[in-house]
């Protein structure tokens, strides 16, 4: 089952451990590449055009959970007040 890609206003989050930053992504791509061979026969890809791309699975690097990834809003992306709640929580977390 394909996993939805993050957008400008969303990001991935592991529902098991809460990870927001580290994931292993397995994807399938269909591409057209312009390959240039030098006179010695060494190939190098000079242009790549992605025709289709599907994310097949996303695995959390912290807890190794597979298919436990959800899309959540990025902080401040929707203009909601979650960003101010996070900063208030962050400033009050120091203890004693």
Q: What is the pLDDT of residue 90?
A: 44
Count of C-beta atoms within a 10 Å radius of residue 27: 13
Pairing status of strand 69-73 against strand 43-60: unpaired
Checking if the pLDDT of 44 tops 90, the result is yes
Rounded CA-CA distance 68/66 in Å is 5
pLDDT in tens, 60-81: 999 999 989 999 999 987 654 4
> What percent of the chain has a predicted confidence (pLDDT) above 70?
78
pLDDT in tens, 11-36: 999 999 999 999 999 999 999 999 99
pTM for this prediction: 0.62
């Amino acid at each position: 089952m394909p996993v939805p890609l993050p957008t400008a206003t969303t990001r991935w989050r592991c529902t098991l451990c809460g990870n927001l930053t580290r994931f292993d992504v397995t994807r399938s791509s269909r591409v057209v590449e312009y390959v240039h061979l030098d006179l010695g026969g060494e190939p190098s890809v000079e242009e790549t055009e992605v025709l289709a791309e599907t994310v097949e699975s996303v695995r959390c690097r912290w807890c190794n959970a597979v298919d436990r990834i959800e899309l959540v809003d990025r902080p401040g992306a929707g203009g909601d007040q979650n960003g101010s709640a996070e900063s208030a929580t962050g400033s009050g977390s120091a203890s004693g």
